[in-house]
Structure 1
Amino acid sequence: MAISFDAALGIHEDALLHRARRAEVLANNIANADTPNFKAKDITFSQALNSASDTMSIKQVATSPGHQTALLDPGMAADMMFRIPTQASVDGNTVEVQQEMARYTENALGYQASFEFLNKKFTGLKSAIKGE
Structure 2
Amino acid sequence: MLGSKLDDYMRFNETALSLRSTRQSVLASNIANADTPNYKARDIDFSATMQAALAKANPNAQQSLATTAVKHYPNPLQDAGTLADGTPLLYRGVIQGAVDGNTVDMDVERNQFADNAIRYEAGITAINGQIKSMLAAIQSGS
User: Do both share a fold (TM > 0.5)?
Assistant: yes
CA distance in 2: counterparts of 1:113 and 1:90, whole angstroms: 39
CA distance in 2: counterparts of 1:116 and 1:83, whole angstroms: 29
Q: How many residues align?
A: 115
- Secondary structure of the 1:131 match is helix
Is 1:75 paired with 2:75? no
Give the unaligned 5+ runs of structure 2.
Answer: 59-77
1:7 Cα offset (Å): 2.2
Match of 1:110 in 2: 119
1:114-125 correspondence runs (5 A): 114-125=123-134
1:92-132 per-residue CA deviation (whole Å, 9 max, x = no partner) reads: 10100011000000001100111100110011111122226
Runs of 4+ in 1 over 6 A off after TM superposition: none
CA distance in 2: counterparts of 1:76 and 1:50, whole angstroms: 18
CA distance in 1: counterparts of 2:88 and 2:127, whole angstroms: 23
Is the CA contact 1:47–1:79 (under 8 Å) kept in the aligned structure 2? no
Larger mean Cα displacement after TM superposition, 90-99 or 5-14: 5-14
1:48 Cα offset (Å): 1.5
Match of 2:64 in 1: none
- Secondary structure of the 1:11 match is helix
Larger mean Cα displacement after TM superposition, 107-116 or 76-85: 76-85
What is the aligned-residue RMSD (CA, Å)? 1.8
Give the TM-score normalised by the residue count of structure 2: 0.74
Give the unaligned 5+ runs of structure 1.
Answer: 56-72
Greater helix fraction, Structure 1 or Structure 2: 2
Amino acid across the alignment from 1:119: N
1:75-94 per-residue CA deviation (whole Å, 9 max, x = no partner) reads: 22253201111111111101
